[in-house]
Structures are given as structure tokens and as C-alpha cells.
């Protein structure tokens, strides 16, 4: 990988942290987008990586919105740029292993949209929200879709149309983040969650993510995806370990199974 603004650290049990370090504001620049793409391509296919944790090197800002100065001026160029980021965040959301956004500092606009594409959001200090309307814009990287599906139409309209910034506690109360923690502790708490996830059946979690995503389809189509995922899960090494451990009245050791994670 040729990363420009992200720093990678491998921890125990296949947990990988990705630190975003693009001063002064971690804007969703071309460099940040390129690094995200490389990270997803590298670690999405890496069987030794079990959980990804994204955090910021800047204690005041997790990630800001788009770099307005570098946005295309023509309608076609703008549309293509937005489509690229939408596809990138779709790739993040559909990754076949758990992802965590460790949010300390502001996550506004595109930063909030990035966090929404992660499986878990653990937040300490700063604020979070889709504030684009206050600039005469709207969210363009999936925010109108993911936030609405997450917290419902009425609340999404309130937050988006007013450009509301929420604290960690407020965001947890409406379901925007999973855990509100003390400011400065988001990464520490995220790593605890990451280790808990890493000790589990990661390949099975990827199949569960596929089935959960299919809940947006008509029921019969969603059930078909669930059925196919279930069949794959039943025949997996993780299932053999999990069921075997249950029968033997012991704790399963999914880390020892260490399956090759595939899409």
C-alpha cells in the first residue's frame, strides 16, 4: 500500500487500527479517499485481519466533510466524484468483517457519513451530524439513506434539515452511535469491543452482515439471501468448532479455527 494520510497498526488477534492523520481537519480529500480504498482492498481480503478500527490522530476532529475547494465545478464531474465516494462507503459497509469507528472529536458531514458506513460507532468527545444543509448542500455520500434507515424518517428529517450537531450522549439516545464513552476514551473502548469481536466467528459475522443487508429487499428475496448464508455457515469450520464446543460443554476457540475470510 502507498498510504498518504493513514497509519496502520496490527494488534493481537487480527485487530487492525487505521489512524487518519490529514491535518488540519481530516477532510474527505482525494488522499483520504485513496487511502480508504487501499485499506479496504488490502484488509478486506486478508484472512489474518479480523476487525478494523478507524480513529483519528487529531483529538479534536474524527473526520470533516468533503474538501469543498477540490470539488469539481461541472455537473458531470461533481456527479462522478459523489458516485465514487458513495461506492467507496458501500464497499466499507459491505466488508466481510466487522468495522468500528472510534470517534473522538467532530464527525460532521462526510465524516458522519463515513462513520455511518461502519458497523459500530463508539463516541467520546466532539459532535456528530449531517450539517450540509447549513452550507446550502445536502449529504451526498449515503447520509440521507443510512441515517434514515438507522433512526427513522422523522428523526432523520429533523437532524438533516436543521443541520443538528449531537454530543455523544445525544447521539446514543437517538441510536446514531452504539456507545457513548468519556471524551478521549473512544479508541480504548473500541479496542475492547474489537477484541470481543475478534474472538468470535468472523466468517459467520460476514455472512450475517450479508443477510442483514438483505432486509432491505422484499421479504422472499431477503429470506433467500438468509437461507444461502445459513447453508454456508452450517458447513463452515467455525460452525464445526462452535457446535463441537457446545456439545463438549466448553468455550469455542474461533481464533484457532482462523478461517480464510472470503466475500
Residues 64-85 pLDDT 10s = 987 765 555 444 577 888 899 9
Q: Of the listed 44, 105, 110, 140, which one is catalytic?
A: 110
Give the separation between CA 147 and CA 151, rounded to whole angstroms. Answer: 6
**Do 230 and 184 share a domain, yes or no?**
no
Tally the domains of the chain: 2
**Do 72 and 105 share a domain, yes or no?**
yes
- Catalytic status, residue 132: yes
**Do 47 and 104 share a domain, yes or no?**
yes
**Do 135 and 247 share a domain, yes or no?**
no
pTM over 0.85: yes
Q: Which residues pair with 54 in a beta bridge?
A: 18, 101
- Catalytic status, residue 125: no
- Catalytic status, residue 156: no
Give the three-state DSSP class for 102: strand
Confidence (pLDDT) at 69:
58
- Catalytic status, residue 110: yes
Confidence (pLDDT) at 73:
42
Residues 6+ apart with CB under 8 A from 237: 203, 257, 259
Instruction: Tell me the mean pLDDT in the region 145-174.
Output: 97
Is there a domain that residue 262 lies in? no
**Do 221 and 191 share a domain, yes or no?**
no
Instruction: Tell me the mean pLDDT in the region 27-46.
Output: 93
**Do 194 and 208 share a domain, yes or no?**
no
Instruction: Tell me the mean pLDDT in the region 224-239.
Output: 95
Amino acid at each position: 500500500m502507498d498510504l498518504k494520510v493513514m497509519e496502520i497498526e496490527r494488534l493481537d488477534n487480527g485487530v487492525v487500527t487505521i489512524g487518519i492523520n490529514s491535518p488540519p481537519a481530516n477532510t474527505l480529500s482525494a488522499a483520504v479517499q485513496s487511502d480508504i480504498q487501499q485499506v479496504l482492498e488490502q484488509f478486506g481480503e486478508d484472512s489474518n485481519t479480523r476487525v478494523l478500527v478507524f480513529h483519528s490522530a487529531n483529538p479534536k476532529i474524527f473526520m470533516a466533510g468533503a474538501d469543498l475547494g477540490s470539488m469539481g465545478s461541472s455537473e458531470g464531474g461533481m456527479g462522478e466524484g459523489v458516485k465514487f465516494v458513495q461506492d467507496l462507503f458501500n464497499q466499507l459497509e459491505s466488508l466481510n468483517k466487522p468495522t468500528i469507528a472510534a470517534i473522538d472529536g467532530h464527525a460532521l458531514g462526510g465524516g458522519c457519513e463515513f462513520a455511518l458506513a461502519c458497523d459500530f460507532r463508539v463516541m467520546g468527545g466532539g459532535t456528530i451530524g449531517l450539517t450540509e444543509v447549513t452550507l446550502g448542500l445536502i449529504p451526498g455520500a449515503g447520509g440521507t439513506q443510512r441515517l434514515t434507515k438507522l433512526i427513522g424518517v422523522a428523526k432523520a428529517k429533523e437532524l438533516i434539515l436543521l443541520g443538528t450537531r449531537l454530543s455523544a450522549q445525544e447521539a446514543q439516545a437517538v441510536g446514531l452511535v452504539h456507545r457513548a464513552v468519556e471524551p478521549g476514551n473512544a479508541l480504548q473502548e473500541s479496542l475492547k469491543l474489537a477484541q470481543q469481536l475478534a474472538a468470535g466467528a468472523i466468517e459467520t459475522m460476514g455472512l450475517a452482515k450479508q443477510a442483514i443487508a438483505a432486509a432491505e429487499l422484499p421479504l422472499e428475496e431477503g429470506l433467500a439471501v438468509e437461507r444461502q448464508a445459513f447453508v454456508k455457515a452450517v458447513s463452515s469450520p467455525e460452525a464445526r468448532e462452535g457446535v463441537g464446543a457446545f456439545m463438549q460443554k466448553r468455550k469455542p476457540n474461533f481464533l484457532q479455527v482462523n478461517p480464510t475470510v472470503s466475500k
